[in-house]
Structure 1
C-alpha cells in the first residue's frame, strides 16, 4: 500500500461546475470561447435533448453511441468529426458517450490511429475544445483521462489514457439524471461505488484519494436506495452524481482492480451493461480481498450501512443482499451468460494485468473461474 510519502498527481477538468439546472452553462461557456461549430457525441435519448445545452452556432449531433462502444461505433463518430471540423466536442450521456467524445476530440487530424494511442500518455495533443456533461451517475468519466473501446476482433477493451483527453469544461447537473430508469440507476450507482471501493482497497491506494473514495461509498449507501425507490428525489440524485464524480477522481491516479477486470468479459462477450456487470461481480471480489484488507473492508461495509466484517462469507452475503434489494439481478445464468463460456471468460479476465496487478491479493485464474461459478 502507498503512503503519504508516495508521490501522486491529481488532474481535474480546467473548469468543473456541479449543481441542478447548470446544463445550459455549456452554451454560455462556448459563446465565451467564440465557438461557432460543435459536435455533440450522445446516445439516441440524449441526442433528442441536445437543445438543453444551449449551444451557439452550428451544432452537429452524433446520436448513435452504443452501450459498451466498439471500434466500428468510434469510427462512425470519427468520420463525422472529420466532415464537420468542429471547434468543440461535447460528450453528452453516460460513460460511453463521454469516452467516445474524448477520442473524437484527439484523433481527427492527429495522424494517429486508435491502436497507436492505446496505453498511457501516447496521444500527441488536442486541437479542439472538449466539454463533458454526464446524464447518469456511474462512470465519473467527465472528470477523468481514460477512454475504453471494445475491439470486436479480440472481444477485449482497449484503454487509452491521456492528459489531453481531460475536459476543458465538465458540467455535472444532477437534474439530467431524473429520467434514468430505476434498474439503470441501481446498476450505475453500484458501478460508482465499485470505482471508489476498488481504489480504496488497491495496492496503489493513496490517502489523497482515500478521502474521495470513502465519501463516494458513503454517498451511495445513503442515497442509492432512495433514488431507486423515487427517481424524482432530487437530493438523492445529487448525492449519486457527487458519488459518481468522486469515483471518477479515484480512477485517474489509482484506478480499479479485480472487480472491473472480472466484470469486463461480461460486457465484451455477452453485452451485459457495464454497471450491471460490475454490480454482479462486486460482492465477490470485495469478499475475496477482505482477508488482506480487513479494516478497509469493514469501513466499506460501514459506509454502506452494513454490519462491519472481514469474513469472506459475511462480506459476500451482505453486499449481495445490498445489491439484490436494489432490484439488481445477481445471477449470471439469469443474465444469459452460458455456463460453458465461464472458463474462457476467466482466462480473458486474468489477462487484464493493468487492473489485476493493482489488486491487493493475487487473483489466480482458477479463483476467477470460482467467482464466475458462484455468481452463475
Structure 2
C-alpha cells in the first residue's frame, strides 16, 4: 500500500452540482453553453422523466439502456448518435446509462470501435460534451473515467478507461433517488460501500483516497438503513449520493479488487443486478482479506456501526448480518444460479487480473470456488 509520498493523480468533473433540487440546473447549463443537439442516454423509467432536467432545443432520448449493457445495447445507442450528431450527451440513470453515455461521447465519428479502445487511455479524443446525472446512489460513475460493457459471446465485461470520458459536469440531485424501492436502495448502497471498501484495502490504496473511502463507508453506515426504512428521507438520500460520489473518486486512481471480480460473473452469466451481486459477495471477500489488512478491516466494521474486529469469523458474521438486515439476498441458490456453474464462474472471476492484482491477499481459483460454495 502506498505511502504519503507515492505519486498519484486524481480527476474530477469540471463542475459538480450537488444537492436537492439541482436537476433543473442541467438544462440551464446546457443552454448557457449553447448546446442545441442533445442526446439523453437513459433506461426506460428515466426516459419518461427527462423533463426534470429542464432541457431546451433539439432533444433526442435513447431510453433503452439495459441493467447490464452489452455490445448490442451499445451499438443501438451509437447508431442513434451517428444520426443525431449531438453536441451534448447526457447520461441519465444508474451506472449503465452513464457508462454508455461516456462511450457515446467519444466513439461516433472517431474511426474507433469499442474493441480499439478497450483498456487504459486508448480513446483518440472527445467528440461531444458530456453531462452525467445519476438517479441511483451506488456506482459513482458520474465521477469516473471508466465504462463497462458486456460481450455476450464471452460473457466478460470489457473495460474502457479514458480521461476523454470524464464528465464536463455532474449534476447530483438526491431527489432523483427518492423513487428507488428498498431493495434497489440497499443493493446500490452496498455497491457504493464496496467501491470504498475495496479501494481502502487495495494494494494500490493511497492516503489521498483513503479519506474519501472511509468517509464513504461511514456515510453508508449512517444513512443506508434510514433510506431503506423511509425512502422519503432526503437527508439519508443525500448522504448515500455523497457516499456514491466518494466511491467514484476511489475508482479512478485505485479501483476495486476481489469483491468486484468475484461478483462480476453473477451479472454477466446470470443477469443478477450489480449491486445485489456485490452485497452477496461482500462479507466473504471482506473476511478473506482481513488477515492481510487487519487494522483497515476493523476500521471498516466500526464505520458501519459494527463491532470492530479483524478475526475472520467475526468479520464475516458482522458483515453478513449487516447486509441481510438491509434486506439483501445472501444465498446464490435463491438467485437461480445453478450449482454446476460455480466452477466456470470461479475460472472466469480468477481471470479478471485487472482487479484481482489489486487485492491485498492473493486468491486462487479454488479459493474463489470455495467462496461461491459458501455463498450458495
Residue in 1 that maps onto 2:230 = 230
RMSD value over aligned CA atoms?
Answer: 0.4
Matched, 1:293 2:289: no
In structure 2, runs of 5+ residues without a counterpart are: none
Residue in 2 that maps onto 1:323 = 323
Inter-partner Cα distance in structure 2 for 1:117 and 1:86: 21
Residue in 1 that maps onto 2:113 = 113
Inter-partner Cα distance in structure 2 for 1:30 and 1:238: 24
- 1:5 deviation in Å? 1.4
* Partners of 2:107 and 2:127 within 8 A in 1: no
1:130 is paired with a residue of what secondary structure? strand
1:147 is paired with a residue of what secondary structure? strand
Residue in 1 that maps onto 2:156 = 156
Inter-partner Cα distance in structure 1 for 2:292 and 2:143: 30
- 1:254 deviation in Å? 0.2
* Partners of 2:190 and 2:278 within 8 A in 1: yes
1:149 is paired with a residue of what secondary structure? strand
- 1:55 deviation in Å? 1.0
- 1:17 deviation in Å? 1.0
Inter-partner Cα distance in structure 1 for 2:372 and 2:54: 46
Residue in 1 that maps onto 2:186 = 186
Q: What is the TM-score normalised by the length of structure 2?
A: 1.00
Inter-partner Cα distance in structure 1 for 2:266 and 2:108: 31
Deviations 1:49-89 (A, max 9, x none): 00111112010000000001000000000000001011100
Inter-partner Cα distance in structure 2 for 1:24 and 1:88: 16
Deviations 1:218-252 (A, max 9, x none): 00000000000110000000000000000000000
1:115 is paired with a residue of what secondary structure? helix
In structure 1, runs of 5+ residues without a counterpart are: none
Residue in 2 that maps onto 1:10 = 10
Q: How does 1:202-213 map to 2 (within 5 A)?
A: 202-213=202-213
Matched, 1:23 2:17: no
Q: How does 1:1-376 map to 2 (within 5 A)?
A: 1-376=1-376
Deviations 1:164-194 (A, max 9, x none): 0000010000010000010000000000000
* Partners of 2:192 and 2:243 within 8 A in 1: yes
Inter-partner Cα distance in structure 2 for 1:307 and 1:140: 27
Inter-partner Cα distance in structure 2 for 1:34 and 1:240: 33
Deviations 1:108-129 (A, max 9, x none): 0000000110000000001211
Aligned residues: 376
Inter-partner Cα distance in structure 2 for 1:50 and 1:246: 25
1:221 is paired with a residue of what secondary structure? helix
Inter-partner Cα distance in structure 1 for 2:310 and 2:70: 38
Deviations 1:107-165 (A, max 9, x none): 00000000110000000001211000000000000000000000001000000000000
